[in-house]
Every structure is written in structure tokens, then in C-alpha cells.
Amino acid sequence: MKRESKKAIKYHLPSPRKEKKTVRPKSTHNPLGDITTHKRWSIAEEALFEKLCIEWNLKEEVYLACWFCTFLLPDKDVNSIRPSTFKMASMMASGRRVSLAIPVLASIYEGLNIIATSSRPTRTSHSFPVHFVYAWLASYFKTHYPV
């Protein structure tokens, strides 16, 4: 069996396509792209934190840890928060800039690897942040437009 060179399996950029102005969305939920400051917690959110006995000064850390485990680094048990996410959440809540690229890419790679090696890929129930893969594909193939 002959091995292909790395150049032979390199992805090529797609041919340029003309943007279809009729496909472009008329508006978005955030047309300016501004990131606003966090608004006050709603009564329902406050009640949830009180029910879980979360101290008021730890709400941001807990919220970020939940967000990590739901959208960035999901695990097999989708209803759990891994203790390892609290350190990064705490650093981010205190204003420190943290790169999430490596853990997210590792999570995507692991998820795709589990699907690829599964004997029945359609029956795989492993969670991983596939929405980032969709965004990359949209950017690569120019199927979505910037705001």
C-alpha cells in the first residue's frame, strides 16, 4: 500500500463565490457586535443560586463553570459540573484573560475521534462542542456573512 505525501492530502481553499445579497440576514440580535456589561440577575436566576446555596460573590464563577461544562467542554454526564472548570472560571470572573482554544480543540478532537472509531457512528451519544465545527465550516466555505 503506497503512502500519500502530506502535500497530497492537504485541504485546498474552495473557489471564491459571489455573495448572494438576498441570502444575507436583514438583522441580527446584536447588529453592532458590542459586548455589553452583564445585567442584574433575574429573580429566577437569583432563586436558583439561593436554592443551590451559592454565595453572592461566587455567582459569576459558578455561572461560568456551568457554561464551560454545557457549551465548551461537555462531558458524558451532561448534567454535571466538573470541579476542574472552577479554576478557569474563577480566573475569568476576576478579569484575567484565559485562552480556551486548546481545551476546546482537544474536546472537539476527542469527540470526532470517538465518532470516527465507533462501529455505529449514528448511535454515538458523546457530547462535544460541534457548534464550533459548524462555525469553522461556515467560515471556510463562506456560507455565512459577517454582521
Which residue type, as a one-letter code, is found at position 10?
K
Taking all residues of the chain, what is their mean pLDDT, rounded to a whole number?
A: 80
Count of alpha carbons within 13 angstroms of residue 119, beta-carbon side: 0
Higher per-residue pLDDT: 14 or 121: 121
- Tell me the percentage of the chain whose pLDDT exceeds 90: 11
Model pTM? 0.62
Write the pLDDT tens digit of every residue in 66-122. Answer: 888 888 888 777 778 888 888 999 999 888 888 888 988 998 999 899 889 989 888
Cα 30 to Cα 53: distance, rounded to the nearest angstrom: 34
